[in-house]
Amino acid sequence: MNKVLIIIVAIIATSAGAVGFHLLTKKPLPEHALYYKQSRALTNFQLVDQAGNQFTNQKLRGKWSFVFFGYTSCPDVCPTTLQNLSFIYEQLQEIDENSQVLLVSVDPQRDSQSKLAQYIAYFNEDFLALRAEHDKLYPFARSLGLMYAISDANNSENYQVDHSASLALINPDAKIAAIFKAEQALGEVPSIDSDKLLEDYQKIVALY
C-alpha cells in the first residue's frame, strides 16, 4: 500500500471515528416542550411572595423555576396544574435539587398576600405564590409570553380571569429556557402531561 493510499485510509478512519464520537456524545433535545436553544432574557420585574418578601430577577438565579400564571378563584386549570406539580415535585428535585415552582397571581384585586399564602400551602408548602399590581404584572407577563385578560371585573365579584395554562421554565441564569404547553382533550381541563414534562426537563438540564 503506497503512502498516499495509507494517508487517505487514515483520514477516512479518523473522520468516521469523529462522527461516531459526535453521535455518541450529542445530547438529545426535548421532544415536547418549546425549547429555546438560545435562552430568552427577561425584563426586570418586582413581585412580592406570600410571606411579603420582595421577589426580583435575582431570586431566579441559581435555580430552575417553573412559572405558572393563575389565581385562587380559578375553578379548574390552576388547582389541576398545582396538584400535578406537587405530585411530581420530588422527581423535579431529583433532576435538579434547585428546582422551584412559582405561582404568579393574575388577580391581585382578590388575591391578597394572606389569601395566596393559605392557597399555595394547601398544594405544597415549598411552592411560592407571587403577586403585583397590574402595572408591574403586565410587563412581566409579556416578557414571559404568558398572557392573561380580565373581563367584567368592575361588574361582578365573581369574575373569571382568562390566562395561559402553559408553564415557563426559567434557567439558573434567570432566562427563559422553555415553555411547556398544556394539552386539552375534549371535555377535559387543559393540563400538562407530567411524564412528558419530566422527560424534557431532564434533557433541558443536561443541555444547560
> Which residues line the annotated binding site for Cu cation?
74, 78, 163
DSSP codes of every residue in 39-78: EEEPPP-EEEETTS-EEEGGGGTTSEEEEEEE-TT-SSHH
**Among residues 146, 14, 172, which one has the least CA distance to residue 68?**
146
Bridge partner residues of 100 (DSSP)? 65
Angle between helices 77-87 and 113-123 (to 10 degrees): 50
How do 64-70 and 167-170 pair as beta strands? antiparallel
Contact yes or no for 38/25 (Cβ under 8 A)? no
Q: How far is CA 154 from CA 11, 116, 150, 159, 206, in A?
A: 74, 22, 10, 9, 47
Cell of 125: 408548602
CA gap 133, 113 in Å, rounded: 12
- Binding annotation: 74, 78, 163
CA gap 204, 4 in Å, rounded: 45
**Among residues 67, 148, 149, 143, which one has the least CA distance to residue 100?**
67
